[in-house]
Structure 1
Amino acid sequence: MHILPLALLGTATAQAIRGFNSGGIGPKGPKSQQDFEAEFNKIKNLPGTAPFTSIRLFTMIQHDTASDPTVAIPAAISTNTHLLLGLWASAGQDAFNNELDALKKAITQYGEKFTSLIDAISCGSEDLYRITPTGIANKAGIGASPDTLVQYIQQLRDAIKDTPASGAKITHVDTWTAWVNESNFAVTKAVDWLGMDAYPYYEQEHENTIENAGRLFFEAYNKTVAVSQGKAVKVTETGWPVAGPQFGQAVASVENAKRYWDAVACPLLGDIDTWWFTLDDAKGDPNEISFSTIKSDLGDPLFDLGCPGK
């Protein structure tokens, strides 16, 4: 039987969300509504595990449009799939205005059929991490300052005020290292709960073997809880790659992905709101990193998703 770490025991919920991350670009290119529908149906019927019912999105905007709502929304409505919405916040005010515009268009177009499926809305994704020395060294891209994110969070709250989405919880998703940085505590104050990303695979400054991965993850979670100002901490990204380069002492393999699932997913799922990374990000180059949980073309799981005793 899996035993939850003490910090998790204090925040576990009876009906915890079980979800996956999903980008707008799939292994074969931009996703259509039909692609999203197939993906959303897949997560509810994975063998060996209880149904997953929520998808985390990174942007409100459909690929190759200025501010059209993502077709993941009608796909979610048709499959009754819940959504952790995401607004990209690292491209400047004009781009964020487009994200807000797409959200407002979706609320107007789909109404309560859409808003009733919203688990929460995230203002940004790892924006704080990308402006750290580590993010810059890893060429993670353009980020956003805490002051900017606080302004965006208020703009988001204003945008959904007096709409069917007015009751939606607002969060921000970032790495655990960003959340424990005191210079970012204004963002913690501005959100309703914290979305934490943690990948022991990348923590090469520690002894990041697969044997230590579970310990590293839950230490990160507990450190985030300790500075969360009493707000819930939810797991918005974690996983272990099935393929890719060695990173520090971390080895990417299907076997290690299964060991990480047992050590981290099994204690989390059903007890803490979790969006796993990821369902399918298979790449054409087998040497490129992949965090897929299933075989390509929405195939069978790459490893046993069961959690014995839970």
Structure 2
Amino acid sequence: MRFSTTLTAIAAALPFTQAFWKGMNIGANNADGSCKTQAQWQTAFNKLKGLPQHMTSVRLYASSDCNTLANAVPAALNTGTKILVGVWTEDSAHFKAEKDALEAAINQHGTDWIIAISVGSEDLYRGDTSASTLASQIYDVRGMVRALGAKQDVGHVDTWTAWVDNANTDVITASDFIGLDGYPYFQASTIGDAYNTFWDSVTATRNQVNAVSPGKWVWVTETGWPVSGETYGGKAVASVKNAQTYWRSVACDAFNKIHIFWYAYQDYSASPSFGVFDKNGKAIYDLYSC
């Protein structure tokens, strides 16, 4: 497999015990809807860093919303955390605000805190845009950050079902890396079948990517199992027990095989809720054993 020079360099820079990025998705809002302060970002980053997996990487969904990068980047620098940056693409004014926030963060803090940059998140799955439009936005952001001196990869995050759709190959071509969101729960998988269902989605995505643009890395940018919520499709049961099972079978295995960002650090009162920590910062299930 052909690897990008940027990712090869990143892998070489990682400690031997962390050959792959492993982290969590973190939202910019608190349980009451307020925006995370720099101190609250730092608390979250330190909590992940303190896990046995020593998670020093996170995925953020946006750049300007809630002053995400303005508050999160200083916290990341203070804790040795690296960020998979999100740039929201919906509507031109929002897209510009996102690019402006990313540009400001790079101008102020350099680029060492960046793992990679995702332009958009599940836009193709939602049908909010066309593949050609999204590809143009990826090229746009890549051009901007290259001019600012950032060499990190620029790609897109979407569901595995969007990636294997032949209508979306323009986005594969435009992306330096492929961010896969895969949830066996939403495929109505039993917890007993979830491990195989997850890896089948990774394999299907890799096969499509290699057919379109050989050698590009597929990352898992979202996966997890809900701790509460309805039974989906009559088979996928949301429970703390099953979330624990999914963590031990999928996360503990994937940490050594692929770049992966678990969903999610906190999910508060959503239903189904995929949160790993409750609103008080206490782990909902055991993250300390694999």
Q: Same fold (TM over 0.5)?
A: yes
Q: What is the SS of the residue equivalent to 2:103?
A: helix
Structure number with the bigger relative contact order (C-alpha 8 A, sep ≥ 6) is 1
- Does residue 298 (structure 1) correspond to residue 281 (structure 2)? The answer is yes
- Does residue 120 (structure 1) correspond to residue 105 (structure 2)? The answer is no
Report what 1:104 is aligned to. Answer: 103
- Inter-partner Cα distance in structure 1 for 2:231 and 2:102: 39
- Inter-partner Cα distance in structure 2 for 1:226 and 1:158: 28
Report what 1:245 is aligned to. Answer: 230
Give the one of 196, 201, 215 matched to 1:220. 201
TM-score by length of 2: 0.88
Give the one of 131, 134, 139 matched to 1:146. 131
Return the offset for 1:304. 4.4
Give the RMSD, CA atoms, in angstroms.
1.9
Cα displacement string for residues 168-226 of structure 1 (whole angstroms, at most 9, x for unaligned residues): 1011000000000001011001111100000010113xxx1111111111111100000
What count of residue pairs does the alignment treat as equivalent?
Answer: 270
Q: Which amino acid aligns with 1:81?
A: T
- Inter-partner Cα distance in structure 2 for 1:199 and 1:42: 25
Return the offset for 1:271. 2.4
Question: Does the CA-based 8 Å contact 2:49-2:56 persist in structure 1?
Answer: yes
Report what 2:83 is aligned to. Answer: 83
Return the offset for 1:69. 4.2
Report what 1:17 is aligned to. Answer: 21
Structure 1 residues 174 and 83: alpha-carbon distance in aligned structure 2, compared to 1, 3 A threshold:
same
Moved over 2 A (4+): none
Q: Which amino acid aligns with 1:25?
A: N
* Sequence identity percentage: 39
Cα displacement string for residues 270-305 of structure 1 (whole angstroms, at most 9, x for unaligned residues): 32110000122222x8xx321122233212352244
Question: Does the CA-based 8 Å contact 2:240-2:284 persist in structure 1?
Answer: no
Structure 1 residues 180 and 60: alpha-carbon distance in aligned structure 2, compared to 1, 3 A threshold:
same
Query: Which range moves more in the overlay, 293-302 or 230-239?
Result: 293-302
Report what 2:219 is aligned to. Answer: 234
Q: What is the SS of the residue equivalent to 1:210?
A: coil
Q: Which amino acid aligns with 1:36?
A: W
- Inter-partner Cα distance in structure 2 for 1:172 and 1:107: 20
Give the one of 244, 249, 254 matched to 1:258. 244
Q: Which amino acid aligns with 2:81?
A: T
Q: What is the SS of the residue equivalent to 1:83?
A: strand
Q: Hey, which of these two has a bigger chunk of helix by percent?
A: 2
- Inter-partner Cα distance in structure 1 for 2:181 and 2:53: 23
- Inter-partner Cα distance in structure 1 for 2:169 and 2:218: 14
Contiguous gaps of at least 5 residues in structure 2: 1-10
- Does residue 271 (structure 1) correspond to residue 257 (structure 2)? The answer is yes
Query: Which range moves more in the overlay, 33-42 or 71-80?
Result: 71-80
Question: Does the CA-based 8 Å contact 2:24-2:264 persist in structure 1?
Answer: yes
Q: What is the SS of the residue equivalent to 2:64?
A: coil
Q: Which amino acid aligns with 1:100?
A: K
- Inter-partner Cα distance in structure 2 for 1:209 and 1:201: 8
- Inter-partner Cα distance in structure 1 for 2:38 and 2:272: 26
